[in-house]
Structure 1
Amino acid sequence: MALSRISLLTRILKLAGKLPLNIAQGLGSFIGLLLWWFPTRSRHATEINLGIAYPDLPAPERQRLARKSLKQTGQTIMEIPLMWEWPVERCLDLVREVEGEELLTRSREDSKGLILLAPHLGNWELAGLYFSSRYKMAALYSPPHWPEFEDYMIRVRGRLGSELVRGDRRGLARLITLLREGGVAGILPDQSPRGKTNAYAPFFGMEVRTMTLVAKLLQKSGAAVLLTYAERLPNAKGFRIVIRECEPGMADSDPVVAATALNASVEQAVLAIPEQYQWEYKRMRHRPPGEVNPYKPGRIC
């Protein structure tokens, strides 16, 4: 049963991967509107997250932002098959401009490794393809819920030789080695991590569990760190790759200081294009013990 389900899913992805960008984005916007029109979990989480992040924004404006965000999320959903099934050159042709190239050049001058933080902002799949086309790169990933789907995901994401590394102890060791050799590691920094070794730090004013992985990698490898995202341009015109400096303190030995700097770096990027952030992700669900789960007010963390 599972294999037939995976076969059907990959066929759907391959079929969707034949669409042009404007049609895919149009369908994605419609999917986002459906998520908005009906009482979906995506709308529920989006409204809660925006209420936390923008408490002073008038309710009608927050509602408009939530609607825009879900439309952008729908576009991201429909763009993924394109990034996985289009020829790589066609995907890279969607990059119309690069902002912050000088930061990238400066970070590579001494040949030390580089950590690229790519939050759930814009089209992170295209950002990964863009940088793997230029550097020896490894990207941290979490295995999908369907193990049979993992082979397909690794193959399409690794078309340019990018190495996909599981987020476990062995994967951490591999990233450290790669960074010490001057390679590039890509990490999604705004996940809600599991485990007790992570820290609690503010994200849009709320204390949430935050990964300490980035701090450990920086401390053990001596690598540089930058933040990047692929901003979606209007009217299916393509994307802008944006590279930004991070807030200081991300390599601090105090895990709370490091995690605070990590979250602040993501915040600054999100504030630039808030409608393109994946607000429907339950980033705030892991809070300090005794605090209320904002998505389930009757549940204590």
Structure 2
Amino acid sequence: MRAVKLFLINFLLRISGSLSLRAAQRVGRSLGWLLWKIPTQARDVTDINLAICFPEKTQDQRDQLAKTSLQQTGMTIMEIPLMWEWPVADCLNLIQTVEGEELIREAQADGRGLILLAPHLGNWELAGLYFSSRYKMAALYSPPNMAEFEDYMIKVRGRLGSELVRGDRRGLARLASILREGGIAGILPDQSPRGKGNAFAPFFGMDVKTMTLVSKLMQRTGARALMTYAERLPDGQGFRLVIRETLPGLDDKDPVAATTALNGSVEQCVRALPEQYQWEYKRMRHRPPGIENPYKPGQIC
């Protein structure tokens, strides 16, 4: 049964990967419209997140943002097979402009490592391809639920030499080593971490569990950090790659101060492009003990 499932996934990836960018985005926009129009968990979670993060907006404004956001998410879903199946050169040709690349040169001028923080904003797979095509790069990842799919994911993401590092003890030690050697590490900073050793910090005004990994790596290796995302341009025109500074304090030894700076840096990027953020993700599900889970009214964290 798992072999059949894996075959079907690979088949769908290859079929989807044969589409043009415009065609993939048209299909994705329709998929996102369905996620918004019919009762789905994605729509419910998006509505909850937008109510938390944008209380100043009217209900009509949040409804319109939810619709646009889910359509953009649908486009991201349909673009991923392109990023994995297209020739790398064709993927990179989708990037029309790069804003802030001088920040990378400045950050690496003294030989220190660099952490690129890529929130779930725009097309993060394309951003990863771009940087791995130009720099010695490693990226932190979580293994997929299907172990058989992991080899494929590693192959397509690492086809330019990027090293994929598991988020376990051994993998994190490898990531630290790469940073000490002056390399670049890519991390998705807006996931809701499990386990101990993390901190609660505000994200759009709500305290949520936030990874302390970034600050720990910076303290141990002397690395710097920058934000990045690939903004989707309208009408299938491609993407604009953005690189920007983080807020100060990301390497603070106080975990709350450091994670507050991390969430604030992510929030700045999201506010610049809210319709392309992954609002259907339950980012707020891990809250301080004794506080209600916003996605499950009546359930206490």
Indicate the TM-score class for this superposition, using the shorter chain for normalisation: over 0.9
- Residues in 1 aligned to 2:229 and 2:257: alpha-carbon distance in whole angstroms: 24
RMSD: 0.5
- Residues in 1 aligned to 2:134 and 2:224: alpha-carbon distance in whole angstroms: 17
- Residues in 1 aligned to 2:204 and 2:271: alpha-carbon distance in whole angstroms: 10
After superposition, what is the alpha-carbon deviation per residue over 1:102-150, rounded to whole angstroms, capped at 9, x for unaligned? 2112112112110000000000000000000001111000000111111
Structure 1 position 202 matched with structure 2 position 234: no
Q: Secondary structure at the match of 2:64?
A: helix
Q: Secondary structure at the match of 1:11?
A: helix
- Residues in 1 aligned to 2:64 and 2:93: alpha-carbon distance in whole angstroms: 32
- Residues in 2 aligned to 1:171 and 1:195: alpha-carbon distance in whole angstroms: 17
Structure 2 equivalent of residue 178 of structure 1:
178
How far did residue 48 of structure 1 move?
A: 0.3
Structure 2 equivalent of residue 239 of structure 1:
239
Long gaps (5+) in structure 2: none
How far did residue 298 of structure 1 move?
A: 1.7
Structure 2 equivalent of residue 252 of structure 1:
252
Structure 2 equivalent of residue 264 of structure 1:
264
Structure 1 position 117 matched with structure 2 position 120: no
Aligned identity (percent) is 68
Q: How does 1:10-159 map to 2 (within 5 A)?
A: 10-159=10-159
Structure 1 equivalent of residue 279 of structure 2:
279
Q: Secondary structure at the match of 2:98?
A: strand
Task: Give 1:2's aligned amino acid.
Answer: R
How far did residue 56 of structure 1 move?
A: 1.3
- How many residues align? The count is 301
- Residues in 2 aligned to 1:136 and 1:105: alpha-carbon distance in whole angstroms: 13
How far did residue 69 of structure 1 move?
A: 0.2
Q: Secondary structure at the match of 2:257?
A: helix
Q: Normalization by structure 2: what TM-score? A: 0.99
Task: Give 2:242's aligned amino acid.
Answer: V
Long gaps (5+) in structure 1: none
- Residues in 2 aligned to 1:292 and 1:6: alpha-carbon distance in whole angstroms: 38
Task: Give 1:177's aligned amino acid.
Answer: S
How far did residue 261 of structure 1 move?
A: 0.3
How far did residue 295 of structure 1 move?
A: 0.5
After superposition, what is the alpha-carbon deviation per residue over 1:168-215, rounded to whole angstroms, capped at 9, x for unaligned? 111110011000101000000000000111000000010000000001
Q: Normalization by structure 1: what TM-score? A: 0.99
Task: Give 2:220's aligned amino acid.
Answer: K
Task: Give 2:119's aligned amino acid.
Answer: P
- Residues in 2 aligned to 1:101 and 1:163: alpha-carbon distance in whole angstroms: 21
Q: Secondary structure at the match of 2:228?
A: strand
Q: Secondary structure at the match of 2:299?
A: strand
